[in-house]
């Protein structure tokens, strides 16, 4: 691959039915270009967590994916309420999701921890009242 391949998605907020469309699209693309299935699984799950976070907390956002020769990067950006304490949000089980969200099976407080678990690099930038940007990188 001499040039990078870029994908771009808009994630709708509050829509739990179509949530995951972007991650599934990325998964299909990576499969079609022959990326290692184990790597695809890590990417798909990490990105889904990010997508769900934007649906739950931020009334949606955008996902930009870049596929390079040696790595795949994902930037998830939203204009949501921001994260007050990123360190706390990184702890397994910490959640600010409502009971209604938890009844759907989301809001277990595993979103960012799973993104960290499955990515090779995770960076979270957030400003309360402005929004959050999550950078994920995967070595391939």
Partner 1 sequence: MKVSQIAPLIDADTVVAGDGKKEVSSVYAGDFLSRVMGKAPADCIWLTVMANVNVAGVAVLAEIPAIVLCEGVKPDEMLVQKCLSENIALFTTQKSVYECCKLL
Binding site for partner 1 (CB under 8 A): 16-17, 19-20, 23-24, 27, 37, 41, 44-45, 48-49, 52, 102, 104-106, 108-111, 113-114, 117
Dist CA 138 CA 67 (whole Å): 10
- Per the annotation, the verdict on 139 as an active-site residue is no
- Per the annotation, the verdict on 53 as an active-site residue is yes
Report the side by side order of strands in the sheet with 71-78.
5-12, 60-67, 71-78, 131-139, 121-127
**Cα distances (Å, whole numbers) of residue 18 to 21, 33, 48, 123:** 6, 24, 12, 26
Q: How far is the CB of 2 from partner 1 (least distance, A)?
A: 30
Q: How far is the CB of 108 from partner 1 (least distance, A)?
A: 4
Q: How far is the CB of 139 from partner 1 (least distance, A)?
A: 19
- Per the annotation, the verdict on 49 as an active-site residue is yes
């Amino acid at each position: 691959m001499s040039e990078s391949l870029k994908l771009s998605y808009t994630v709708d907020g509050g829509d739990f039915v179509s949530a995951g469309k972007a991650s599934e699209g990325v998964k299909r693309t990576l499969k079609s270009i022959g990326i290692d299935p184990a790597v695809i699984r890590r990417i798909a799950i990490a990105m889904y967590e990010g997508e769900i976070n934007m649906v739950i907390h931020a009334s949606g956002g955008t996902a930009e994916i870049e596929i390079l020769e040696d790595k795949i990067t994902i930037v998830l950006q939203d204009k949501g309420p921001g994260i007050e304490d990123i360190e706390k949000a990184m702890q397994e089980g910490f959640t600010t999701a409502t009971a209604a969200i938890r009844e759907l099976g989301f809001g277990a407080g595993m979103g960012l921890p799973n993104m960290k678990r499955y990515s090779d690099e995770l960076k979270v930038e957030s400003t309360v009242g402005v929004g959050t940007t999550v950078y994920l990188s995967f070595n391939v």
